[in-house]
Amino acid sequence: MRQSIDQPVRVRFEHTRYPQWGGHSGYAQFVRCLDPASFRTFLHGASDRDPDLPRWLRRFKPSLKRLIARGKMPWYKISDLNAEMLALAECLRRRLDLVHFLDGEHSGQFLPRLLRFLGPSSVRTVVTFHQPPSLLRDLVNPKLLRWIDEVVVVSPSQLEYFRPHVAEDRLQVILHGVDTDFFHPAAAASQTGGIRCVTVGNWLRDWSSFAAVARAMGDIAFDVVTRAKPDLSGLVNVRLYSGLDDGALAELYRSADILFLPLKETTANNALLEGIATGLPVVATDLEATRAYLPSGEAILVADNRTEGFIEAIRGLQQNGALRGEMGRRARLRAEELAWPRLVCHYERLYRRAIRRPPVGRGRANDRIGSALPV
């Protein structure tokens, strides 16, 4: 049995460390906002690259990779296996009430099922998924989902993938949040005399559409922050940045007039949230996810990444300062609705509910132990 309900809920968080994220970006930010009187937390990060193994374990690396491959989760690495085994040890010592895997495409391949096969367990598992359905089909083994107590998605566009595999009462949309204290509007409006667009990020960006727009709008300055290497040759109005620290990134947002995000797909988007927290009007791709995050006039959304549509939207904002100001005001208000301290109550309710409900997978303990390994 878990500890007294009056004591803090003990939660271990497993997440993937991405080198491009600074100290104020990323999904794990909400952990620090949990009520410390009600939740005792431990955050562990696994590298998105496999670490060097201890010398005695290196000879087993091929076997470990074959074991991992059985789970049919191509982003799962040895570093993720190590994280699960560390979490399992804490579970077996009865030091935890709940494990939340913050990056489900990378993690949670073994632990949720092992907890059911190693005897009655009071530990519950929560897994959050971030990718759109077109990618989830190749990244997630749906057979493993039935062992997870609670599934969280960050956009309603993901529900179509999970509904056939996860019971409705164990599936929840909780929108991504943002640090609105760090990402905030400039104290005074920019006096540069020109219009600057800022584009940030790498994943699922439509660089062909970006280049077409920038090429057609030579009088507009475009600042691009990315680890990607898009072909933007010959575009003298585009300035590329990489490796900015947190402060420099925030200042770049504040020096801009428009956030421009042509996307192939998306669910939650750090750049979108950071941009609106800075009070920037948004010109972006019209997708179910962008509509969910920007429902109230914060953005001009363009269907199918039409170059003419993007150009018309940016021109309209260039020529209408009042419209830019009003959209920027709405953007900041929306960001305040999505600030982590306001969203964290959804996780607190989810955790309390999870530890009170019976675990999934109950009644399967008589299955042979070997089947606990994914196939």
Beginning with the edge strand found earlier in the chain, give each strand of the sheet holding 299-302 in spatial order. 238-241, 221-225, 196-200, 258-261, 282-285, 299-302
Verify that 357 and 330 share a domain, yes or no: no
Give per-residue pLDDT as tens, 109-167: 999 999 988 865 789 999 999 999 999 999 999 999 999 999 999 999 999 999 999 99
Predicted confidence band of residue 20 (pLDDT cuts 50, 70, 90): low
Query: Which range has the worst mean pLDDT, 10-24, 310-324, 353-367?
Result: 353-367
- CA 362 to chain CA centroid, Å, is 30
Domain total in the chain: 2
Query: For 41-64, what is the mean pLDDT?
Result: 77
**pLDDT averaged over every residue in the chain:** 90
Average pLDDT rounded to a whole number, residues 226-244: 93
374, pLDDT greater than 50 = no
Residue 188 lies in a domain: no
In a shared domain, residues 211 and 158: no
Q: Are residues 312 and 352 located together in one domain of the fold?
A: no
Contact 148, 141 (CB under 8 A): no
Specify whether the CB–CB gap between 252 and 181 falls below 8 A.
no
Contacts of 230 (CB under 8 A, 6+ apart): 205, 207, 210, 211, 224
Provide the pLDDT for residue 375. Answer: 45
For CA atoms 347, 361, 13, 174, the dihedral sign is negative
Residues 40 and 163 in one domain: yes
pLDDT of residue 200 exceeding 50, the answer is yes
Residue 16's pLDDT is: 87
Note whether 328 and 231 are same-domain residues.
yes
Q: How confident is the model at residue 272 (pLDDT cuts 50, 70, 90)?
A: very high
| Whole-angstrom distance, CA of residue 92 vs CA of residue 89 | 5
Alpha-carbon separation of residue 327 from 223, 237, 293, 322 (angstroms): 20, 24, 14, 9
- Which pLDDT value is given to residue 62? 83
151 shares its domain with 212: no
Please tell me the distance from the alpha carbon of residue 181 to that of residue 125, in angstroms, as a whole number.
Answer: 31
What is the average per-residue pLDDT within 55-69? 78
Query: What distance lies between CA 124 and its chain's CA centroid?
Result: 21
Q: Mean pLDDT lowest for which of 1-10, 138-147, 334-343?
A: 1-10
308 within some domain: yes
Cα→Cα distances 128→99, 134, 172, Å: 11, 17, 9
Q: Based on the fold, state whether residues 171 and 80 are members of the same structural domain.
A: yes
| For residues 31-35, average pLDDT | 97
Average pLDDT over residues 357-367: 65
- Average pLDDT for residues 315-323, to the nearest whole number? 97
Q: Considering only 12-16, 270-274, 284-288, 365-369, which range has the smallest mean pLDDT?
A: 365-369
- Residues pairing with 224 in the sheet: 199, 240
Give one word for 165, left, alpha or beta, with left for phi > 0 and alpha for psi -120 to 50.
alpha
Are 85 and 115 in contact by the 8 Å Cβ rule? The answer is no
- The contacts of residue 296 (CB under 8 Å, 6+ apart) are 330, 333, 334
Most confident of the ranges 191-195, 205-209, 355-359 = 205-209
Does 183 fall in a domain? no
305 and 346: one domain? no
Average pLDDT over residues 26-38: 96
Verdict on whether the full-model pTM lies above 0.95? no
* Shared domain check, 293 and 236: yes
CA dihedral (223, 228, 231, 234) in degrees, to 10, reads 30
Helix axes 307-319, 321-337, angle to 10 degrees: 110
What pLDDT, on the 0 to 100 scale, is given for residue 5? Answer: 56
75: number of Cβ within 10 Å: 17
Whether residue 189 lies inside any domain: the answer is: no
For residues 12 and 193, give the distance between their C-alpha atoms in angstroms, rounded to a whole number: 50
**Domain contains 221:** yes
Q: Please check whether residues 208 and 70 belong to one and the same domain.
A: no
Q: Are residues 295 and 350 in the same domain?
A: no
Regarding predicted confidence, which is higher, 55 or 275? 275
**358 and 310 share a domain?**
no
Q: Does 160 map to a domain?
A: yes
Q: What letter represents residue 307's amino acid?
A: T
What CATH number is attached to the domain comprising 301?
3.40.50.2000
Containing structural domain, residue 202 = 196-337
Residue 261 CB neighbours (<10 A)? 25
274 pLDDT exceeds 70?
Answer: yes
Residue 330 lies in a domain: yes
- Rounded to an integer, what distance in angstroms lies between the CA atom of residue 278 and that of residue 181? 10
Percent of the chain residues topping a pLDDT of 90: 76
pLDDT of residue 53: 61
Residue 187 lies in a domain: no
Pairs from 303-311 (Cβ < 8 Å, separation ≥ 24):
305/206, 305/209, 305/262, 305/263, 307/209, 307/212, 307/213, 307/216, 310/209, 310/213, 310/260, 310/262, 310/283, 311/213, 311/216, 311/217
Q: Which residue has the higher pLDDT, 160 or 192?
A: 160
